[in-house]
Structure 1
């Protein structure tokens, strides 16, 4: 977005009532915090309000990432404009959404000890582990991830033509092996990413879909599919799955064989306790 909220606003008006909420990835905020295009929507000088809720992550905002790491709460910039946070899983409109702000740096990613989840706007492996642990607890409750938001592309994508995992044809700085790991482990319905300035749709496994978005531009670019910067999705929350009993194999050595007379005593005792309760 780079702060071009006026372009998004115009697109939402064009779509009228077709959109319930917006999810944005990549570099959402402008490089210059005083950019007039965003100050129309935030701060004391705000004169405009987006017509639907907009939730975003950001690959470069050290200030917002640090604030979220301290407060652990989404940051409301103004009505209908919210920074989701640094990393985690949340629920919006019934959808379970995992998100990872920041960007990948190989050295920072590996050196998590003493660095926390982030060093400036670079995430460490601890940030990815936080998301994976939350997703693991969800799976224990029979829940799964509907949407994964990252700024970067995965460093490996599935090629249905080659029937293999291959490196995407984008600048290496726009992709991340950490994102590949998240996509593989979380298995979301949709993975949405950006940053490489290229629109792309692909399959993830049997049921998932990956959507990469191009940069927002002032002039309409919808005559060139590679430059599409938005897409509309109709997403239903994944139904919660019933968790079946865990079957544990028991070795014969683990069983204590009781004499028949002792078993009869235990049975009589249990029947007496049941009568007493009645």
Structure 2
């Protein structure tokens, strides 16, 4: 990743950080609010700003540039999303101090604090023409940011990722945003960045919505080593009149300083990763489709799957899933699961032997996430269940057996195909 010298702020191991949504030139409002909070709660270490930092009133900014007004906290901002804001950056196009205590990070890269805190950033919005520009980023920008990650065998992730644009489909498997159609909002390149950088926190702006998603996993359960979760937060604009949250405060211990067992602790409400892992790999690094017993993805189905992912997710209406009411034997992340019975783990589903089966070959196909029945499960879960069925039919046909599949019609918190 790009490393660029910026003003280093001395920080303690436990960091207190603000993140603000689109400021849009309302500097006095923002900094006054921060001053008041710091009077009550003590000083914070850093302010991060996503979305449009500048507005149309140049004089409001000029008073800070001239030193007539002071910025009360070390502040890191992203680049412009609109052409009318590019003049504010004209003397620091590659990043640098715009005034005392306000630093423009640059187009893309990683900020490394003296405490070990790592902040990855990507400025602008995805180019509709695939070309990088003053206010746009392209696949090439994202790939260059990810290349060092691909060669670093010790890479765990970053502490924070800030982008102005949302990742596409971020609420898949989570609570729906409601105010936004996330299939048609956001950037698939930002999704690609998020899944490969594995941030502990990901902040975005621009959509004038406050949305705090349930944490999502950065690993395949049982198939990969357990990793930390990611928390996604979308922030509203300062100017919103509906009292939507535009300022987020939190504490964080950097990856480099935190105990591994504490870092990888999974929360009870953790979900699957909302982004498609295969489609989100940098294009030159994509591998062939996952194998179970056979190649389980027919050629025509691969095309359909790619189209669904391109369109932003499942064809079915997104459903808000109920959280389990108690311990679930079928959750791969649950301490109750009997892992010695697991045969194969896919992206959305897994195969396991039945405990006390009706016959010797009694097998279960189960979703990794909580879905109560096939009628409520998203299409990618159903597709993978069907691929498991196809593979099992082929396997048992070779040994002279036939397969009967059934789903019991009774209320359960975790569906099972037997």
Q: Would the TM-score normalized by the shorter structure come out above 0.5? A: yes
Give SS of 1:210's match.
strand
Residue in 2 that maps onto 1:211: 233
| 2:255 aligned to which of 209, 216, 238 | 238
Question: What TM-score, normalized by structure 1, do the two folds share?
Answer: 0.69
Give SS of 1:27's match.
coil
Contact 2:123/2:163 (<8 A) preserved: yes
Give SS of 2:98's match.
strand
Contact 2:212/2:231 (<8 A) preserved: yes
Question: What TM-score, normalized by structure 2, do the two folds share?
Answer: 0.47
Greater fraction helix: 1
Question: Counterparts in 2 of 1:29-40, with a 5 A limit?
Answer: 29-30=54-55, 32=56, 35-40=58-63
Residue in 1 that maps onto 2:47: 22
Cα 1:81–1:161, aligned 2, differ >3 Å: closer, same or farther?
Answer: closer
Residue in 1 that maps onto 2:159: 146
How large is the Cα RMSD of the aligned pairs? 3.0
Cα 1:50–1:142, aligned 2, differ >3 Å: closer, same or farther?
Answer: same
Separation of aligned partners in 1, 2:183 and 2:90:
26
Separation of aligned partners in 1, 2:139 and 2:90:
16
| Residues 1:126 and 2:147 aligned together | no
Residue 82 of structure 1: CA displacement? 0.8
Residue in 2 that maps onto 1:82: 103
Contact 2:156/2:198 (<8 A) preserved: no
Give SS of 1:203's match.
coil
| 2:35 aligned to which of 13, 19, 23 | 13
Question: Counterparts in 2 of 1:1-278, with a 5 A limit?
Answer: 1-16=23-38, 17-30=42-55, 32=56, 35-42=58-65, 45-58=66-79, 59-60=81-82, 61-63=85-87, 72=94, 74-92=95-113, 93-107=115-129, 109=130, 112=131, 118-137=132-151, 139-161=152-174, 169-170=180-181, 175-206=186-217, 207-217=229-239, 224=243, 227-239=244-256
Q: Which sections of structure 2, spanning at least 5 residues, go unmatched? A: 1-22, 218-228, 261-418
Contact 2:116/2:256 (<8 A) preserved: no
Contact 1:88/1:130 (<8 A) preserved: no
Contact 1:170/1:196 (<8 A) preserved: no
Cα 1:166–1:79, aligned 2, differ >3 Å: closer, same or farther?
Answer: closer
Residue 4 of structure 1: CA displacement? 1.1
Cα 1:39–1:148, aligned 2, differ >3 Å: closer, same or farther?
Answer: same
Cα 1:189–1:168, aligned 2, differ >3 Å: closer, same or farther?
Answer: farther
Cα 1:26–1:161, aligned 2, differ >3 Å: closer, same or farther?
Answer: closer
Residue 158 of structure 1: CA displacement? 3.9
Separation of aligned partners in 2, 1:191 and 1:122:
19
Q: Which sections of structure 1, spanning at least 5 residues, go unmatched? A: 113-117, 243-278
Q: Deviations over 1:1-50 (max 9, x none)?
A: 111111111111111124211000001112x3x522212211xx331111
Which one has the largest radius of gyration? 1
Contact 2:208/2:240 (<8 A) preserved: no
